Copies of this chain bind each other. A is one copy, B any other.
Amino acid sequence: MKTEYLKERKVIMRKLKINNNEVAFFAVGGLGEIGKNMYAVQFQDEIVIIDCGVLFPEDDLLGVDYVIQNYDYLVENKDKIKGIFITHGHEDHIGGLPFFLQKVKAPIYSGPFAISLIKGKLEEKHLLRETEFHEVDEFSEVHFKKLWVSFFRTTHSIPDTLGIAVHTPQGTIVQTGDFKFDLTPVGNLPAPNMQQMAKLGEEGVLLLTSDSTNAERPEFTKSERWVDIHVRKVFQRIKGRIIFASFASNVYRLREASDEAIRQGRKIAVVGRSMENAIVAGRELGYLKIPDDALIDPSELNSYPPEQVMIMCTGSQGEPMAALSRIANGTHRQIAIQPGDTVVFSSSPIPGNTTSVNNLINRLEEAGANVVHGYVNNIHTSGHGGQVDEEIMLRLMKPKYFAPVHGEYRMQKIHTELAQLTGVPKQNTFILENGDVLALTKDSARIADHIESMGNVYIDGRDVNDSVGDPEIRERRMLSEEGVVTAIAVVDLKDFQIVAGPDIVSRGFVYMHESQDLIRAANHEVFWAILNTFKNHKNIDRRILNRTIVSRLQKLLYDRTGRHPVIIPMVTIINGDSGKSKHHKKGHSKKQEDKSKAETPVTAE
């Protein structure tokens, strides 16, 4: 299967099927989904890439750390790539760079905050030295042969967010990046530059590709100023220690919390590496106003009364290894929940994290903390604009053609309707999928081609070479939906004897104590599978053995239960040619388990 999959991917080595005078816009990620954004504008032999993110899998992608794009087309055409333009420093926009840059060398153009985050990532992969960086701001221009790129300042939940305009001989293609119109940002953080957007609109935008995340919300997204007011109110009610949890990259939120803590005379202890980095970067770039003497080391916390400290930490999404989870579990080295502590979640759970966040809150409350939730207490607002923000962008840009990006299909669809309500003719709007190639001239647009972009690449280690394919994921999903049945046996090749087992162990399939008949029957099938294999093949072929066990068990279990559990044959062979037990497992973490299963694709055939 895996081989076939790779072969299929080779087919796409080709040129775009567009006319020579047409400019192409396409996405290899970010359409029909929230995550792994990666957009490209191509005119003749020049390609400009916008963003290169990862997708964080939801619970149904078991054991997968990230999903990245299938960007084979771009790799094949890497000589045309002029640069990778980064709108902002969130993982779903920069997280793919450490993988992509292993395949393609291209300069990176980005604002300062994203650059500092990207550099950290590339350093881990030893890619930093060989990568060329160009720091840009809203007034920069980058000129290539026939394409040139300009920027416009927007606001989002991370500083230095830029929209990108790619100027082509056929007209200007605008990619908004993630945005909301925060008209009153906190501190000295800058506001959206509406003049730049209106000017692009006035000069003429051929194609607008705009953030669709909150297209389902019929509202104007509230400003961080509004959160600021409510953070103050919440803080003023808190008598004991404050444990403030939010995304480290949301420097706005860190600003609001630190300003108010300092006003209250609290010292600030920072916990968690990404939070430490964010505080350092935020202070360096002038976004945070925390004087040296307001910062203390977590080890000093006990020297201050509870009402004089605030702990800022990561882990607001319930990430098990982040500081807040460890604090909740009592496994943090320096910090334990005390009675009177208040944990402030200045965040809301990302879909898919709801359960882990709820569990975290339960554990915090069990440990004696008060918990203040984000949306309920008005101490969170989205980084993405709602329908009103999206309409403002449309009215400012007045695009001739429109393609909603950064969203699932239903969000793209509503966003397209908003475009029509703001004057874009229906036939000029396009709900694209990843891989669709929109070919444009100054007075035409059509979906002219489709490059292979499906077959997502799943990363469950830390390197692009750990990638697994769609079939594996399909199997893992089945695992989670139908359960798993493991058949264990030890066969001694010396005297062709089953010296242990067969035993049947199941998880998530049937309750074993109530299914003794079924288990006995399964045992029987495995026994006969082993004996038959031995009978037919003197020198045992493990592949045939496994396949036989699987097919016999599959038939039995489906006949009796109507279900298709994942079947894992674990036959250990002793005194054979290899002389080694192949399936003996040492690790016990979930991830390692999942990986070992992935290495034994059984049902995928």
Contacts and interface: CB of A to CB of B under 8 A. Distances in A.
Interface string A378-414: 0000000000100110111010000000000000000
Interface string A409-422: 00000000010011
B422 A391 contact: no
A201 B191 contact: no
A471 to B, nearest CB: 46
Contacts of A10: none
A370 B12 CA distance: 66
A77 to B, nearest CB: 37
13 contacts: A183-B392, A184-B391, A184-B421, A191-B395, A191-B422, A191-B423, A194-B198, A194-B396, A195-B396, A195-B398, A197-B198, A198-B198, A220-B220
B395 A192 contact: yes
Nearest to A394: B183
A225 interface: yes
A422 to B, nearest CB: 6
A199 B225 CA distance: 26
Which of A181, A194, A225 counts the most B-chain CB atoms under 10 A from its CB? A194
Contact of A395 (B183, B218, B219): B183
A59 interface: no
Contacts of A183: 388, 391-392, 394-395, 421-422
Given A192-B395, A220-B388, 9 more contacts: A183-B388, A183-B391, A183-B395, A184-B391, A194-B201, A195-B201, A195-B202, A197-B198, A198-B202
Given A220-B220, A421-B225, A423-B191, A396 B198 contact: yes
Contacts of A391: 183-184
Contacts of A388: 183, 220, 388
Contact of A422 (B184, B398, B423): B184
A396 B392 CA distance: 12
A237 to B, nearest CB: 21
Contacts of A220: 219-220, 388
Contacts of A197: 198
Contacts of A202: 195, 198-199
Q: Interface residue tally of chain A, by bracket?
A: 20 to 34
Contact of A195 (B198, B218, B225, B423): B198
A220 B395 CA distance: 15
Mostly, the A contact residues are: helix
Interface in A93-129: none
Contacts of A201: 194-195
A396 B396 CA distance: 11
A201 B195 CA distance: 7
Contacts of A198: 194-195, 197-199, 202, 396
A395 B225 contact: no
Contacts of A394: 183
Contacts of A218: 226
The 3 nearest A-B residue pairs measured at CB: A198-B198, A183-B391, A220-B220
Contacts of A181: 392
Contacts of A199: 195, 198-199, 202
A219 B388 CA distance: 11
Nearest to A420: B184
Interface string A177-218: 000010110000001101101110110000000000000001
Contact of A392 (B225, B392, B421, B422): B392
Nearest to A198: B198
Contacts of A219: 220
A399 to B, nearest CB: 13
A398 to B, nearest CB: 7
Interface string A32-55: 000000000000000000000000
Contacts of A398: 195
Which of A192, A388, A392 counts the most B-chain CB atoms under 10 A from its CB? A388
Contacts of A191: 395, 422-423
A312 B195 CA distance: 42
Contacts of A195: 198-199, 201-202, 396, 398
A388 B394 CA distance: 17
A186 to B, nearest CB: 10
Contacts of A226: 218
A443 B523 CA distance: 92
A194 B396 CA distance: 6
Interface in A226-248: 226
A197 B201 CA distance: 12
A220 B422 CA distance: 17
Contacts of A418: 184
B421 A194 contact: no
Which of A220, A396, A422 counts the most B-chain CB atoms under 10 A from its CB? A220
A430 B317 CA distance: 46
A209 B209 CA distance: 35
A201 B198 CA distance: 11
Nearest to A390: B183
Nearest to A201: B195
Which of A183, A392, A395, A396 counts the most B-chain CB atoms under 10 A from its CB? A183
Interface string A427-449: 00000000000000000000000
